């Protein structure tokens, strides 16, 4: 009898079914059937979040109600803010968001209710609360008072407002909105699969989201966009870009922001975001960095055949917005909680405990040896 096939990292293994998104043949991305390019070009992030959570694009009245629910849930209770102030200021934001996902459960009356409707209500509340939590904790770390969310602003504009304390330009708001849409969902990636595994044990939504954040924290997943910024800062100038990248490739250094496990012909999200990144670079006076990135991208593609993934342009985009690198991956959380929650709900509705097998490579059967004879 032959052994079952072994796929390191579960590469290529179909581990479940989903109606939420698909990486169509490794060349495109669709949310609930809609091409990511169409959604990023035409829809607001609020429409995309509604689509992912509820299954269909909202009509005008449904969208208005959805935005009203998000606005109502966005402010944090005083007890939550008191807790945030008690956390050491040097705590990494990702660590705090992982804790916050769990802590918010204590203030949610439906925390343990796994009914689909209750799950949706909790998902909407978490979607509304995470931008406020992120912005408030960042400002507390800086010794500043948190800024209250503004119910009149869009999701993207409100996020920037609470982080920066100033009105974003239409271009900045648009850039943030698009980045949130592009990060919102991505099939069975590591953090989403972690959330589904936790849910498959019949655990609660908040626990699954906390686990997903723990998976996203890793530099091979969500943390990659922070490493991209480190590369760009190390290179420094467009003039230095070509000698730096050629030396890095000769030394076989791994350049974060390039290549993807599934997208072999290039990440469609990166292709869409690149022109927006170039426009924002001009608006904010960062043409030098954009030129530097263009040189690095060209040479990596030519020499290694590795096209950029979403982390490559998004790191620059956030830098052009004046955002600190420590919140790049937390911004990923603010968006991806949408996809995670949708997967939690889907998993719970047709659940089977996720329990794969392993290939044993340890010693052959051995006889017991008494301690005196060892």
Q: How confident is the model at residue 150, as a pLDDT?
A: 97
Q: How confident is the model at residue 75, as a pLDDT?
A: 96
**Spatial separation of the C-alpha atoms in residues 308 and 276, rounded to whole Å:** 15
Q: How confident is the model at residue 26, as a pLDDT?
A: 65
Q: How confident is the model at residue 8, as a pLDDT?
A: 83
Residue 285's Cβ-count burial label (10 Å; 0-12, 13-18, 19+) is exposed
Asked if residues 269 and 311 have their Cβ atoms less than 8 Å apart, the reply is: no
Asked if residues 303 and 250 have their Cβ atoms less than 8 Å apart, the reply is: no
* Sequence-ordered list of residues with C-beta below 8 angstroms from that of 137, at least 6 positions apart, any chain: 84, 87, 93, 96, 97, 100
Confidence check: pLDDT of 12 > 80: no
Residue 22's Cβ-count burial label (10 Å; 0-12, 13-18, 19+) is middle
**Spatial separation of the C-alpha atoms in residues 102 and 116, rounded to whole Å:** 20
Q: How confident is the model at residue 122, as a pLDDT?
A: 97
**Rounded to 5 degrees, what are φ and ψ at 354?**
-85, 110
Domains of the chain, CATH where assigned: 17-217+325-349 (1.10.580.10), 224-320 (1.10.230.10)
* Sequence-ordered list of residues with C-beta below 8 angstroms from that of 146, at least 6 positions apart, any chain: 76, 81, 132, 135, 136, 139, 140, 162
Q: How far is CA 35 from the centre of its chain?
A: 19
Report which of 324, 334, 331 is spatially closest to residue 164, judged by C-alpha positions. 324
Residue given tokens 């390019």 in the structure block: 37
**Spatial separation of the C-alpha atoms in residues 219 and 232, rounded to whole Å:** 16
Q: How confident is the model at residue 2, as a pLDDT?
A: 67
Q: How far is CA 74 from the centre of its chain?
A: 19
Please provide the average confidence, as pLDDT, over all residues in the chain.
93
- Residue 364, classed as helix, strand or coil, is coil
Confidence check: pLDDT of 9 > 90: no
Residue 163 in tokens? 């982080």
Asked if residues 245 and 4 have their Cβ atoms less than 8 Å apart, the reply is: no
Confidence check: pLDDT of 14 > 90: no
Helix (H) or strand (E) holding 94: helix 93-103
Report which of 142, 140, 162, 163 is spatially closest to residue 86, judged by C-alpha positions. 140
Angle at 236 between CA 233 and CA 239, to 5 degrees: 150
**Average pLDDT value for residue range 266-273:** 92
Name the percent of the chain lying above pLDDT 90: 86
Asked if residues 146 and 94 have their Cβ atoms less than 8 Å apart, the reply is: no
Torsion-angle region of residue 336: left (phi > 0), alpha (psi -120 to 50) or beta?
A: alpha
Asked if residues 280 and 320 have their Cβ atoms less than 8 Å apart, the reply is: yes
Tens-place pLDDT, residues 305-333: 999 999 999 999 999 999 999 999 999 99
Q: How confident is the model at residue 1, as a pLDDT?
A: 57
**Spatial separation of the C-alpha atoms in residues 1 and 163, rounded to whole Å:** 60
Tens-place pLDDT, residues 167-192: 999 999 999 999 999 999 999 999 99
**Rounded to 5 degrees, what are φ and ψ at 257?**
100, 0
Residue 102's Cβ-count burial label (10 Å; 0-12, 13-18, 19+) is middle
pLDDT confidence of 219, banded at 50, 70, 90? confident
**Spatial separation of the C-alpha atoms in residues 24 and 318, rounded to whole Å:** 28
Catalytic residue numbers read 260, 311
Report which of 221, 219, 199, 220 is spatially closest to residue 209, judged by C-alpha positions. 199
Tens-place pLDDT, residues 140-167: 999 999 999 999 999 999 999 999 999 9
**Average pLDDT value for residue range 119-142:** 96
Asked if residues 296 and 192 have their Cβ atoms less than 8 Å apart, the reply is: no
């Amino acid at each position: 009898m032959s052994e079952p096939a072994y796929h390191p990292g579960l590469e290529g293994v179909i581990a479940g079914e989903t109606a939420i998104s698909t990486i169509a043949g490794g060349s495109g991305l669709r949310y609930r059937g809609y091409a990511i390019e169409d959604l990023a070009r035409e829809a607001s992030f609020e429409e995309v979040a509604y689509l992912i959570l509820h299954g269909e694009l909202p009509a005008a009245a449904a969208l208005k109600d959805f935005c009203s629910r998000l606005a109502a849930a966005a402010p944090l209770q005083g007890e939550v803010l008191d807790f945030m102030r008690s956390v050491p200021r040097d705590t990494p934001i990702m660590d705090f968001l992982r804790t916050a996902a769990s802590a918010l459960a204590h203030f949610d009356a439906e925390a343990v209710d796994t009914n689909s409707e209750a799950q949706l209500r909790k998902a909407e509340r978490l979607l509304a609360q995470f931008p406020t939590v992120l912005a408030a904790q960042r400002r507390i770390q800086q010794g500043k008072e948190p800024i209250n969310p503004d119910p009149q602003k869009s999701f993207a504009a409100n996020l920037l407002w609470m982080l920066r304390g100033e009105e974003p330009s239409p271009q900045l708001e648009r850039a943030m909105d698009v980045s949130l849409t592009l990060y919102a969902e991505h099939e069975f990636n590591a953090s989403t699969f972690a959330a589904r595994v936790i849910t498959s044990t019949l655990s609660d939504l908040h626990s699954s989201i906390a686990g997903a954040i723990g998976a996203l924290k890793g530099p091979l997943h969500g943390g990659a966009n922070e490493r991209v910024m480190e590369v760009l800062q190390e290179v420094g100038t467009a003039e230095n870009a070509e000698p730096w990248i050629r030396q890095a490739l000769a030394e076989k250094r791994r350049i974060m922001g390039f290549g993807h496990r599934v997208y072999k012909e290039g990440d469609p999200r990166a292709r869409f975001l690149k022109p927006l990144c170039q426009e924002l670079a001009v608006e904010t006076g960062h043409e030098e960095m954009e030129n530097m990135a263009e040189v690095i991208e060209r040479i990596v593609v030519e020499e290694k055949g590795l096209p950029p993934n979403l982390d490559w342009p998004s790191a620059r985009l956030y830098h052009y917005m004046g955002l600190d690198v420590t919140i790049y991956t937390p911004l990923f959380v603010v968006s991806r909680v949408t996809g995670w929650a949708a997967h939690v709900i889907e998993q719970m509705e047709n659940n089977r405990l996720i329990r794969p097998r392993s290939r044993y490579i340890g010693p052959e059967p051995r006889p017991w040896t008494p301690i005196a004879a060892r």
